Amino acid sequence: FINRLTPTQISTATNWKVVNCNLSRSIAIKEDGTLWVWGFNSPALGVAGMGSNVTYITVPTQVGTDTNWKTAVAGNGYFLALKNDNTLWAWGGGASGKLGNGSTTSIFLPTQIGSATDWETVEADSFSSFGLKTDGSLWAWGRNMYGNLGNGTQTDLLVPTEITTASDWKGIATSAASTSGVKMDGSLYSWG
């Protein structure tokens, strides 16, 4: 592998819409709604047929054949994504419940989490996940070692759980141990 010290084009495609990365893993969506990944394939980037025997995927590689992906983010060894119908999908390592599927096991291909169809946006860090719904409510799941999920405890959450009763959240950002959110009135909150 070669380090690139300046911006270097990695694909001849000119229809990329969304890109996100975290710890040697990248995910992107093209304008046609297809989903693409590359980087460190551990525990899984979500490409069928590329199990743990493939360590790195060195070029953008399509995940499945769906053409209705809306947004996607990379966490530490896992991904969260939303489709155009506002459903939530996750895959990769499941430590601390960060996938939101009710367990700590890994999922190797994109899998729908719950049945809700009102997810607006998602955010991921090392082991914690967040989502905002279309009604302005804030949801969190995964590792809560530092209280960074914001529910007043330090207990991990294995499924998306509403945090506070407020329904005026506008944006969310998270790191390994802290989280910040912005409300519709422009006020700023931090915790963790």
Gap between the terminal Cα atoms of the chain: 36
Q: Whose CA is closest to 77, among 44, 49, 103?
A: 44
Cβ burial, residue 17 (10 Å; 0-12/13-18/19+): middle
Render pLDDT for 18-41 as a digit per residue (tens, 0 to 9). Answer: 999 998 999 999 999 999 999 999
Question: What is the edge-to-edge ordering of all strands in the sheet holding 107-112?
Answer: 69-74, 78-83, 88-92, 107-112
Q: What distance in Å separates the CA atoms of residue 80 and residue 88, rounded to the nearest whole number?
A: 7
Average pLDDT over residues 85-111: 97
CA atoms 8, 9, 11, 16: torsion sign: positive
Render pLDDT for 125-157 as a digit per residue (tens, 0 to 9). Answer: 989 999 999 999 999 999 999 999 999 999 999
Check residue 42 and give its pLDDT.
85
Q: What distance in Å separates the CA atoms of residue 123 and residue 120, rounded to the nearest whole number?
A: 11
Whole-model pTM: value is: 0.95
